[in-house]
A and B are shown apart, each in its own frame.
Chain A
Amino acid sequence: MNAILEVKNLKTKFKTDHGLISVVDGVDFSIQPGETLGVVGESGCGKSVTSLSVMRLLPSNATNEGSISFEGKEILSLPEKAMQQVRGNDIAMIFQEPMTSLNPLHTVGKQIEEVIKLHMNVTKQEAKERAISMLKAVGMPRAEEIYGEYPHQLSGGMRQRVMIAMAMACDPKLIIADEPTTALDVTIQAQILDLMRDLKEKTGTSIMLITHDLGVVAEMCDRVIVMYAGQVVEETDVETLFENPKHPYTQGLIESIPTFEEDKEYLNTIPGSVPLPYQMPKGCRFAARCSQVKAICHEQAPALKEIENNHKCRCWLYTEEGAS
C-alpha cells in the first residue's frame, strides 16, 4: 500500500545558547490512508516538533534533515508558497488548547470561512453554507447562530469542535491532532474522541494523533509509535502494544496506568526524567532509568529493529549482543 505520509530519518536541530541541539534524532514512520497513528511519549520527547516539522511550522532557529514525503511529494524542500497550499488543504492540524486556538476578535464563522476561501474555489455564499454545514457536522447545536458568535461565547469543548470543523473544512487527507483532548475534561474528551472517530470513518482521512494519554491511544489508534528523547523506541499495532510491550520504557508507561482492580497506595512510576537534549548519554538514551539495564546499554546506542512481524523495538534486550 502507498503510504500517505512517509517520514524517513527526520532530524530536527535547534540553534540555541547551548549550541546546536538535536531534538528529534532519526525518526522514521509512515501513515497509511485511513489509518490513525498514535504518537506517544512524555513531554519533551519530540512529538510536537515532529508534527510541526510535517507542517513546516517550526520556528526559524530550527533545521530539518531527512525526508518527509506526503503523497510522494517531498515536503521539506517545497517552496513556502506551495507549502501554504498544502497546509489546511491536504494536511490540517488540531491544536491542544481550544481556549487559545481561535482568534478572539473574529467570529467562529469567519475563521472557518477563511480556510474554505483559501483552498476552495467558492463564492461568499457557498463558503458560508459550507462553514455552517461543517459546524453541523461536528455536532454543533444552532449552527447558524454559532456561525456569528465569538470564541469567548463558547465553552472549551465547543471551541474544540470548531477547531475540528476548521481542520475538516477542506477535506484534508491527513489531520495532525496535537493532544486534542488534553485541555478538556473527561466527559468532553470522550465526546471529542467519538466525534473524531465518526468523522474519520465518514471521510476516510488519516490521523496522526499525538498524545501522552495511553487511554486515548487504546480508544483511537490503529498503530502506535512510542517516542523517547527524540527517537522512536517502539512501533507496533495497538493490540500488541498493550498486550506485549517490549521496550522497558513502554512497559513502564503501561504499568503506570492506574487500574481499578488493584488497590495500591502508590502508582507505578518510571524513576528519573528525560535527559536534556544537550546532555544525551552515549549509549541507550533510556539506560539511566531502565530497570533491565545491561552493561552494553551504557556503551552503545541500540538500533530500531524489527523483533517480531510488525513490531519494532529499539532495545539491546532483543538482540544477540544484549542477550549474551
Chain B
Amino acid sequence: MKTFKKFLRTGLGLIGAVIILSLILCALFASQIAPFDPNAQDYNKILLEPGGEHLFGTDDLGRDIFSRVVYGAQISIKAALLSVGIAILIGVPIGLLSGYFGGFWDEWVVMRSVDAMQAFPFLILALAIAAVLGNGFGNAMIAIGIGFAPAFIRITRGQVLQLRNMEYIHAAKSTGVKDMRIIFSHILPNALNPIIIQSTLAMAAGILAEASLSYLGLGVQPPTPSWGSMLNQAQTLMNVAPYATFYPGMAIFLVVLGFNLLGDGLQQTLDPRIRK
C-alpha cells in the first residue's frame, strides 16, 4: 500500500501507467472501439484524409487506419508480454544458477557468451535469429526474447552475487536448506525488484523491436494490423498520405514512452538506493 502511494507520487510513472492501461483497454475492447473491420478493404475510399467517418483516414487499400491502430494494440501487447516473457524464462534461471554456483561455467561460459551477445547491436542480433528461425510473429518473439535474455542474465546474476553473501542466506544454509530451495525461495524474491524494472523497460524495447522486425517484413505478416507493418506499407505513400505513417508511428512513440515512464516510476519506488 505504501509502495503504491509512493508510486502515485512519482507523477511521470503515473502518466506511464495511464498510457499502458489505455493500451491494454484498446487491445481488450478493440472490437467495440474500432468502427470498422481492420482488414476490410473499400476501394471507393482509398487514401481519405483524416476526419469525418474515418478518424485517422484510410490507407491505399481503403482500410480504416484508426481501426487498424486500435487492433494493432493487441499485437503490441502480445509482443511486449511474449518477448519479455521469453527473455525472463531464459535469463532469470541462468542468471540465478550462474551467479549462485559461480566458478568456470559462470565466469567463462555464461558471462562471456553474454558479453558476445551484447556486443552485437540488438536489432542485428534479433534479425539474424529471426532470419534463421523464419518469418512469423512467434519466431520474431523468440528472436527478440533471446536478444533480451543477456540483459536479464546480467541483472539477475548481479543481484545473486550480492545476495548470496547476505547473512540470512548463510543462516538458511546453516539450517540445512538445499541449494535449489535457497536459490528460488530465498534469493529470487529478494532479487525481484530490479528484474521487474528491467521487464517494463524491456517491454518498450520489445514493442519497438516487433515494430522494426514487422517493418522489415520478418514479424507479423499482412494483413494482420501491426504498427510496424503499417509503417512499412505506408512508407511508399509518404508523399501522398503522410498521415498513414503518422498515426502508427505516434502509437509506437506513445506506448514506448508509456513503458519507459512506468519503468522509471517503478524504479523510483522500488529501488532503495534512490528512495527518498
Contact = CB atoms under 8 A, between A and B. Distances in A.
Interface of A: 55, 57, 60, 84-89, 92-93, 95-97, 100-106, 114-115, 118-119, 163, 166-167
Contact of B176 (A60, A106, A115, A163): A115
Contacts of A167: 175
Contact of A115 (B103, B170, B175, B189): B175
B175 A57 contact: no
A209 to B, nearest CB: 16
Chain B interface size band reads: 10 to 19
Given A60-B103, A102-B171, A103-B168, 14 more contacts: A87-B174, A89-B176, A92-B174, A93-B175, A95-B174, A101-B167, A101-B168, A101-B170, A103-B186, A103-B190, A104-B190, A105-B190, A115-B175, A118-B175
A103 B173 CA distance: 12
B55 interface: no
A119 B174 CA distance: 13
Nearest to B163: A103
A100 B162 CA distance: 13
B103 A95 contact: no
Contacts of B171: 93, 95, 101-102, 163, 166
A102 B168 CA distance: 5
Contacts of A84: 176-178
B61 interface: no
Nearest to B178: A84
Contacts of B177: 84, 88, 114, 118
Complex A-B, nearest 8 residue pairs according to Cβ-Cβ distance, in ascending order:
A88-B175, A88-B176, A87-B176, A93-B174, A100-B167, A115-B175, A84-B176, A103-B168
Interface in B144-195: 166-168, 170-178, 185-186, 189-190
Given A60-B102, A103-B190, A104-B190, A87 B167 contact: no
B167 A95 contact: yes
A21 to B, nearest CB: 19
B70 to A, nearest CB: 40
A85 B189 CA distance: 25
Contacts of B167: 95-97, 100-101
A100 B163 CA distance: 11
A238 to B, nearest CB: 26
Nearest to A116: B175
Contacts of A104: 168, 190
A88 B174 contact: yes
Contact of A105 (B102, B174, B175, B189): B189
A191 B137 CA distance: 65
A84 B180 CA distance: 12
Contacts of A101: 167-168, 170-171
B165 to A, nearest CB: 9
A93 B169 CA distance: 13
Interface in B90-109: 102-103
A167 B171 CA distance: 9
A164 B133 CA distance: 56
Contacts of B173: 57, 87
The winner among A55, A101, A104, A115 for most chain B CB atoms within 10 A is A101
A101 B169 CA distance: 8
Interface in B187-222: 189-190
A207 B25 CA distance: 62
B170 A95 contact: yes
Contacts of B102: 60
Interface in B107-124: none
A88 B175 CA distance: 4
Contacts of B186: 103, 106
Contacts of A106: 185-186, 189
Contacts of B189: 105-106
Contacts of A85: 176
Contact of A103 (B103, B172, B174, B176): B172
B190 A57 contact: no
A2 B102 CA distance: 40
A55 B167 CA distance: 15
Nearest to A51: B174
Nearest to B182: A103
Contacts of A105: 189-190
A166 B173 CA distance: 12
Contacts of B176: 84-89, 115, 118-119
A87 B175 CA distance: 5
Contacts of B178: 84
Contacts of A55: 174
Nearest to A97: B167
